[in-house]
Amino acid sequence: MRPAGIDRAALLSAALLAVSMACGAPAQAGANNAGVARCGSRKVAAIGRGCRDLLRAEARFLRNGDGAARAARIAAVGGRLTAEWSRAEAAAADARCAARSADADAAAARLTAAVSAATAAVPGSVECRRALVGLWAPLCRSAVASERAALRGAASAAPAHLRARIAARWPAPGCAGGPDAAAASRTILRLAAGAAADATTRGLRALGADIGVAVGAAIEPDEVASDVDYTSALAHDIDSLTAENVMKWGVVHPQPATWNFGPADAVVARAEAAGQRVRGHTLNWGALQLPGYVSAATTAGELRAHMAEPIAGLVGRYAGRVAQWDVVNEPLPGFLEAPTPDGLDDNIFHQRLGADYIAEALYLARAADPTARLYINENGLEVPGAKQDRFFALVQALLAAGAPLDGIGFQAHLGLVPPGQYPNAATIEASLRRFADLGLDVELTEVDVTLLFVSGALPARFAVQGDDYRALGEACAAVPRCRGITTWGLNDQYSWLRPFLGATDWPLPFDEAWRRKPAYFGLRAGLLYGRLSMN
């Protein structure tokens, strides 16, 4: 019982103060956040100038081809960037400013490589290339500057005028048969997004919110509880939580008479305290983590009764609090499994109830919470082919039958399923659109990018992975019905792929020491590109 006469708001603010002091956060958090934003804004301005100057150098040296002078100019731009970066950090006197941007050398190296690659990719005569790169130079700076406005909390400057400027000057002299204006705009916006992504101090959460994409993470509540850095990363970058395991049947209802809601409650409570959305995962998964008593059911009636229990138990318990549910997980066989006669996974539900178990599960979930968005979640859908086609036919049949289906979860374990395949942004976007065009929401629900099939030294592999994360961000940002991007974990140390593969892998945006990897900045760049190309 609470003692009488104690004001709840006062208790809450005392508790918050105690927590912030225990975490070493300054009491003037508001003022300091402004300092971090100012520092980010200075870095953004510096990298905008850097992008402009590198492009100017490319335009100039395309003509006279002086390799040594070009190298000296590029080094000078990098040096200035590094100096301005450290001045901004010194002025902020707040370690979060350094921690939330890329380090200056990495940012300069990425920008230089991106500018050279973009310049080299322009076809056509030297005049055409010079004209185009010369046109890009000021535009890059202004596109990057739209992130400065966002850092100051102002409405961001509309980059639509940039596209108009490219179109108005098109075709550039000597460019007959060269790139079109749309391709030229995409290149410059991508360059600007990558530059801003390295410099800004805003988190994934804020960048996703700009474009209506909830950036999420799957968590194990005990891992979060034992790692204070986990909590700050979630607060800054994450807008949606998924329970990695604790809402699964085998955990929540392991025996016929046993319910274990504690860890699931902890995930929901944590999300609510931080103003984050919850994705429920998962109510029916025939393939894995099923308790023995379910697999032992011998009749259809017995199995139906079992199937209803976790659906009513979980969906009912969190009605109005869990925004969406993966009602059925992985109804199709895995890529490495033998095909089945009707193309569906040969699990106990399918064996006893036929293909109808999927619609039945959806109806049960709808009845338990009419407001939750109901999803089917599947792996490997990012890649066109037989599996995507079979899944598409399943979804069409469910919709034709009037089943209550609201969305499709694309797991997006890139590189793992299908093994060795890393689809690019255009491919992922087309896959998402195929299902969104049926009138459904879509999400990337279990993102990670295994490095198992990427060779080379670790930093180079991280860079390749950064590009895959950028592709995922761009693809979701480009599809209006793509509502979220959830990574399966956040920090490599805790990734399920380590025990699953029995090998050290680095599939996530943060490394073991909570340093942001190129994957993190790639995802930021994808989200920023989404905003730049939307305006």
Binding site for ligand XIL (CB under 6 A): 244-245, 329, 411, 446, 496
Question: What would you report as the CA-atom Rg of the chain, rounded to the nearest whole angstrom?
Answer: 25
User: CA 249, CA 152: separation in Å to the nearest integer?
Assistant: 45
Least separation, in Å, of the C-beta of 329 and ligand XIL? 5
- The active-site residue out of 89, 330, 360, 443 is 330
Inter-axis angle of helices 518-534 and 126-151, nearest 10:
100
Q: Among residues 187 and 242, whose Cβ is nearest to ligand XIL?
A: 242
Closer residue to ligand XIL (CB): 249 or 422: 249
Shortest approach of ligand XIL to residue 373 CB, angstroms?
Answer: 17
Which pair of structure tokens corresponds to residue 143? 């596109």
Name which of 187 and 329 has its Cβ closer to ligand XIL.
329
Distances (CA, A) of 153 to 38, 113, 141, 160, 369: 11, 31, 19, 20, 37
Smallest distance from the beta carbon of 342 to ligand XIL, in angstroms? 22
Compute the least distance from the CB of residue 279 to ligand XIL, in Å. 11
Distance CA 519, CA 469 (A): 6
When the beta carbons of 447 and 476 are compared against ligand XIL, the nearer one is: 447
CB of 191 or CB of 417, closer to ligand XIL:
417
Minimum gap (Å) between residue 395 Cβ and ligand XIL: 17
- Residue 120, SS3 per DSSP: helix
State the nearest-atom distance from the C-beta of 245 to ligand XIL, in Å. 5
**Rounded least distance, CB 446 to ligand XIL, Å:** 6
Q: Does the active-site annotation cover 446? A: yes
Give the Cα separation of 103 and 263 in Å (integer): 37
Alpha-carbon span 66 to 89, nearest angstrom: 35
The b/e string for 437-476 (b: 16+ C-beta within 10 A; e otherwise) is eeebbbbbbbbbbbbeebeeeeeebbbbbbbbbbbbbbbb
Alpha carbon distances (Å) from 22 to 9, 27, 267, 317:
20, 11, 22, 33
- Residue 127: active-site member: no
Q: Which is nearer to ligand XIL, 136 or 349 (CB)?
A: 349
DSSP codes, 263-323: HHHHHHHHHHHTT-EEEEEEEEESSSS--HHHHT--SHHHHHHHHHHHIIIIIHHTTTTS-
Rounded distance between C-alpha atoms, residue 304 and residue 256, angstroms: 14
Asked whether the beta carbons of 527 and 482 are under 8 A apart, the reply is: no
* CB 483, min distance to ligand XIL, A: 18
Crossing angle of the two packed helices 126-151 and 181-199, in degrees rounded to 10: 40
**Which structure tokens are listed for 15?**
């508790």
282 upstream amide cis, omega within 30 of 0: yes
Nearer to ligand XIL, 239 or 244 (CB): 244
- The residue among 146, 377, 128 whose CA lies nearest residue 248 is 377
Q: Which of 58, 360, 443, 446 is catalytic?
A: 446
Neighbour-count burial of 338, counting CB atoms closer than 10 A to its CB (0-12 exposed, 13-18 middle, 19+ buried): exposed
Residues facing 62 on adjacent strands: none
Which residue's CB is nearer to ligand XIL, number 58 or number 446? 446
**What is the rounded distance in angstroms from the CA atom of residue 134 to the CA atom of residue 129?**
8
Q: Which residue is nearest to ligand XIL (CB)?
A: 496
d(CA 394, CA 157): 44
Q: Shortest distance, CB of residue 363 to ligand XIL, whole angstroms?
A: 22
Residue 82: both structure tokens together: 């590094």
Residue 50 vs 286, nearer CB to ligand XIL: 286
For residues 258 and 467, what is the distance between their CA atoms, to the nearest angstrom? 45
Q: What's the closest the beta carbon of residue 231 comes to ligand XIL, in angstroms?
A: 20
Cβ closer to ligand XIL: 446 or 492? 446
Q: Are 278 and 268 in contact (CB under 8 A)?
A: yes
- Mind telling me the catalytic residues? 330, 446
